[in-house]
Chains A and B, each alone.
Chain A
Amino acid sequence: MKELFRLNVNGEDTDVAFEPYKTLLEVLREDLDLTGTKHGCELGECGACTVLLDGRPVMSCLYLAVEAQNKRIETVEGLADRGVPSALQTAFARTGGAQCGYCTPGVLMSATALLRENTHPSRDEIKEALAGNLCRCTGYIKIFDAVELAAVEITGPES
């Protein structure tokens, strides 16, 4: 049976009813209509469902929504600020970091978490941070380029 919970998603408190056995992925997509978060395996093996919980990337397919109460949940829909894309989104647009676009929301969330912690990540640090996001189109290269470009856009070139 559904119960009513309060979740904080992209800065907004939302009251939503769901069953305790639903994952955060399912609640975001099916009960909150936030279908930007994707799913490629539902077993924690691809990273397409990555969202941020209190700023840290997690696989939303392996996280019970009930356990996401009292945490800040961020999804791809929350990256743009009043319609203005984030520097990372803009960088992805410029480097062509999205092809089919299906892994992209998850990649953006992992990279967002990285750039908040590390404003000038090295190529190797970027690879580490994205090691849980499978992409089948790009060979990752334009994704790495995008994160590097975003870092420069956000804070300027490293002195």
Chain B
Amino acid sequence: MLRLNRFSYVAPGDLDGALALMEKHGQDAMLMAGGTDLLVNIKQRLATPALVVGIRELPELQGYSLDRGWLTLGASTRLCDIEHDPRIRMMYPALSDAAGLISAPQVRTVATLGGNICLDTRCNYYNQSQEWRRAIGFCMKKDSPICRVAPGGDRCWAVASADTVPVLISLRAETTVVGPSGIRRVPVESLYQDDGLVPLTLRFGEIVSSVHIPPPDTWTTEYAKFRLRQSFDFPLVGIAASVRRDPDGNIADARVVMTAVASYPERASGAESVLRGKPLSEESITTAGHAVFRQAKPMDNTAGSIFHRKRMARVLVERSLRHIAGLPERDARTA
């Protein structure tokens, strides 16, 4: 049986208690919400905390509230609730879809929204047992200066793999972050940086306590995920596409976000600018698909091939936009 390393466990009664523990124990301590990512990493000795601080039950991380059209969800909201809660599904169906496409049902009952936001980047040279990593000489993200994906380079190429995050970014969601130096409000998009090693911009000891999603208004959003199996698998490419159309049907604004093709959730800026000001038509959609194809630069560190993932990025964005536009599915037989 794969074992956790020997650690102590504390579940503080409130957020201040959690912050104090993190301050006291520093890098020896790790925060754990649902634990479905962290416990795997501990079993693979990617992390060996001396203290695990359980924050799942913190009162400040719970809750669902609507205020002037903004939906606020506590960071401890379970993925299964985001998937099934009719109130959330009605307003943000793409977010519910994305949550429902994560891992397996028995993980979604435990895993939290905050946990998915803070999901560690992934790489098939990194998410392996200690023995496996030792055999290959470890990697930059853990215990070696060398990245096994691009050994000549000076950076880590681990992949941002969260499903809810691209949707949250496309929805223009924000977070409340609580830390030793106080509370700040941070757009979800700003939580990330293009660094597989340190993918989050959060400072040590900071906790994402809640997520705020602006009213959907006239935005329409879709999330599409490519993976090899219909369950368990992380995305090999995921596309969140949000479009706001003006009254004459042209695209007033578009937000297209890619996951699993870079170390951070990447805005498909080329596609967005192609779409803005145009009708959502066969032509604009094809052009946007092409822009995504050119921009998406997956590395060979997940399942699937680069060849296929790049093409899937294009197909997913095209199909999502066609669905939003109400265009019939392209007859694949003539493709």
Contact = CB atoms under 8 A, between A and B. Distances in A.
Direct contact of A and B (CB under 8 A): yes
Contacts of B106: 44, 47, 50, 57-59, 110, 132
Interface string B1-44: 11111111101000000000000000000000001100110011
Contacts, number: 89
Interface residues of A, number: 31
Given A44-B36, A131-B230, A21 B4 contact: yes
Given A64-B35, A131-B230, A132-B231, A44 B104 contact: yes
A58 B1 contact: no
Contact of A128 (B35, B105, B109): B105
A62 B1 contact: no
A36 to B, nearest CB: 16
A62 B36 contact: yes
Nearest to A50: B106
Contact of A64 (B2, B9, B80, B230): B9
Interface residues of B, number: 30
B43 A19 contact: no
A26 B110 contact: no
Contact of B4 (A22, A53, A57): A22
Interface in A1-50: 19-23, 25-26, 39, 41-45, 47, 50
Contacts of A66: 9, 11
Nearest to A69: B11
Interface string A53-70: 100111100111011000
B7 A57 contact: no
Contact of A21 (B2, B5, B104): B5
Nearest to B57: A67
A129 interface: yes
B202 interface: no
A83 B231 CA distance: 34
A25 B43 CA distance: 14
B54 interface: yes
A113 B152 CA distance: 51
Contacts of B3: 21, 26
B89 to A, nearest CB: 15
Interface in B53-108: 54, 56, 80, 103-107
A58 B6 contact: no
Nearest to B51: A20
B43 A43 contact: yes
B225 to A, nearest CB: 14
Given A39-B1, A132-B231, A62 B110 contact: yes
Contacts of B2: 41-43
Q: Which of B2, B5, B39, B54 has the most CB of A within 10 A?
A: B39
Interface of A: 19-23, 25-26, 39, 41-45, 47, 50, 53, 56-59, 62-64, 66-67, 110, 128-129, 131-133
Given A41-B2, A67-B35, 12 more contacts: A21-B5, A42-B2, A42-B43, A44-B39, A47-B106, A50-B106, A53-B109, A58-B109, A64-B52, A110-B105, A131-B104, A133-B104
19 contacts: A21-B52, A39-B1, A42-B1, A42-B43, A43-B40, A43-B44, A44-B36, A44-B40, A47-B104, A50-B106, A57-B106, A57-B109, A58-B106, A64-B35, A67-B11, A67-B54, A67-B56, A132-B103, A132-B104
Q: Which 8 A-B pairs have the closest CB atoms?
A: A132-B104, A131-B231, A20-B9, A42-B2, A56-B109, A57-B106, A21-B4, A132-B106
